[in-house]
Amino acid sequence: LALLGNNGSGKTTLLRVLSSIYSKTSGSLYLSEPPGVFFNYSVGGSYGDLHVAEVACILGMLYGIDKQVVKSQLDDILKMAEIEEFKFLPFKELSLGQMRRLSWSIFLKHGSRIIFLDEAFASLDRVFSDKILGVVQRSFLTGRSAIIASHNTKMLRQLCDSAVWLDAGRIKSFGPAAE
C-alpha cells in the first residue's frame, strides 16, 4: 500500500500510529505481528568512536533484531552494504550514503512479514536503490506486505498495488497505485 500526500499530510504520523510509536486517539487496530519499521532518520547519531561492526549491532537492536542475529550475519550485512572493508573503521567516518546502505542492509534481516517504510529510499544512490527495490519486490513473493510512504510516485507504482492519498490526516482518495 502506498501512502501519498504533501509534507505534513499525515503519512509519517499514520505509520507511527500503526507501529505503536504513537497511541491512536480512536478506532481499533490489529496487526498479526509486530511490523518491521524503517523511518528516514539520520543514522549518523553520536556513536563516538564506535566502529562500524559495533554500530551495526546497535542499529539492529533499534530495528528489533536480536544482537546475535546481527553479529552472526555481519559479514553478509557489510557485503550487502558494499562496505565490508570498513568493518573496524569508526562509524563517524562513513559517508551518509554508506550509513544509509548499512542501515538498509541491517533492516533487511528483519523477519517480519509486515514492513513499514517511510521515505526509506531517500539518500540512496541509484545503484543501491535499485538493488534494494529488487530485494523488497522479491520479498513480496514470499508473503511480505508493506505500507510505504514516499514522494517518489514512480517507485511507489513499482512496489505497490494500491494507494491512499492523505491530506491533513484524512484520506482524500484510495485506489490503484498505477493511477
Per-residue model confidence as pLDDT tens digits over 100-147: 999 999 999 888 899 999 988 887 899 999 999 999 999 999 999 999
Sheet holding 145-149, edge to edge: 36-39, 114-118, 145-149, 2-4, 162-167, 170-176
Residue 34 pLDDT > 90: no
Q: Which three cell numbers stand for residue 22?
A: 504513537
Confidence at residue 31, expressed as pLDDT on a 0 to 100 scale = 87
pLDDT (0 to 100) of residue 55: 93
How far apart, in whole angstroms, are the C-alpha atoms of residue 114 and residue 108?
12
Give residue 43's pLDDT band: very low, low, confident or very high (50, 70, 90). Answer: low
Identify the residue with better confidence: 48 or 168. Answer: 168
Q: Which residues contact 7 (CB under 8 A, 6 or more apart)?
A: none
pLDDT of 89 reads: 95
Average pLDDT over residues 3-25: 92
Asked if residue 45 has pLDDT above 70, the reply is no
> Which pLDDT does position 173 carry in this prediction?
95
pLDDT in the model for residue 91: 93
pLDDT value at residue 156: 92
